[in-house]
Chain A
């Protein structure tokens, strides 16, 4: 149990639509990042938020955007969905430095599986 919950668990969209995925982290986890995991592949970093500001982005276009809220929840928004956006989207959080355990530990949710038709 990581304390990170994501919703919805599964959803189906059609090409061109928009989607919002949600994540709720543990209290005190002020860093949240989003990953895209295609079938049979490792997770790929989309972006990271720290204290409600984006402070790192992977190789994803601007139609992937996010928000982080003061209550340790966050959103991933994807506009103009494409077929290749079909994947498992993972949210991962990390506590503030004073509460951190292992340096390499992120707490992942179970993901939202998006299918684009």
Chain B
């Protein structure tokens, strides 16, 4: 079936530590995997994406790792800051998101709490 799921509903980290948020997926046909951040009262905000033919991609303070063998995706946040506190969703998509009849399938989300 088509599903994207997360291992932990809540993750608490100390400010300055690195955070790792994990996600499992079941659909081998996914072309893109995407991480979104959603702060309270706001819509999801794009963080980073990775194509299915890659295993690692880095952004500003964030790294996404993709392990297709075990169908696992992770988001690493370096030097976690209080502003990183939010719910993080992984999502998958097949095909380009422009023009075609494609969609994002979101997981349930992980609440990241940054402790001072």
CA distance in complex: A54, B53 (Å): 30
A92-110 vs B: 1/0 string, CB under 8 Å? 1011110010111111111
Contacts of B45 in A (CB 8 A): 2, 108
Do residues B44 and A90 form an inter-chain contact, with CB atoms below 8 A? yes
Q: B residues near A, CB below 8 A?
A: 4, 32-34, 41-46, 48-49, 51, 89, 91, 93, 96-109
Given A104-B33, A105-B49, A106-B104, the answer on whether A97 and B98 have CB atoms closer than 8 Å is yes
Asked whether, in the complex, the Cβ of B51 is within 8 Å of the Cβ of A103, the reply is yes
- Central interface residue in A96, A105, A109, by most chain B CB within 10 Å: A105
Q: Are A2 and B43 in contact, CB atoms less than 8 angstroms apart?
A: yes
Complexed CA–CA distance, A116 and B48 (Å): 35
Check A31–B97 contact: CB distance below 8 A: yes
Known: A108-B43, A109-B43, A110-B42. 6 other contacts (CB 8 A): A56-B103, A96-B98, A97-B98, A102-B49, A103-B51, A104-B32
17 sampled A-B residue pairs with Cβ under 8 A: A4-B43, A31-B98, A33-B103, A40-B108, A42-B107, A42-B109, A43-B106, A48-B101, A56-B100, A92-B43, A96-B98, A102-B48, A104-B33, A104-B93, A104-B104, A106-B46, A111-B43
Given A103-B51, A104-B93, A45-B103 contact (CB < 8 Å)? yes
In the complex, the answer to whether B91 meets A97 with C-beta atoms within 8 Å is no
Bound together, the chains give a CA A105 to CA B115 distance in angstroms of: 29
A104-B98 contact in complex given A33-B103, A45-B103, A111-B43, C-beta closer than 8 Å: no
Mask for A1-37, Cβ within 8 A of B = 1, else 0? 0101000000000000000000000000011010100
Task: Kindly state the separation between the CA atoms of A33 and B106 in the bound complex, as whole angstroms.
Answer: 14
Within 8 A of B (CB), among A63-117: 90, 92, 94-97, 100, 102-111
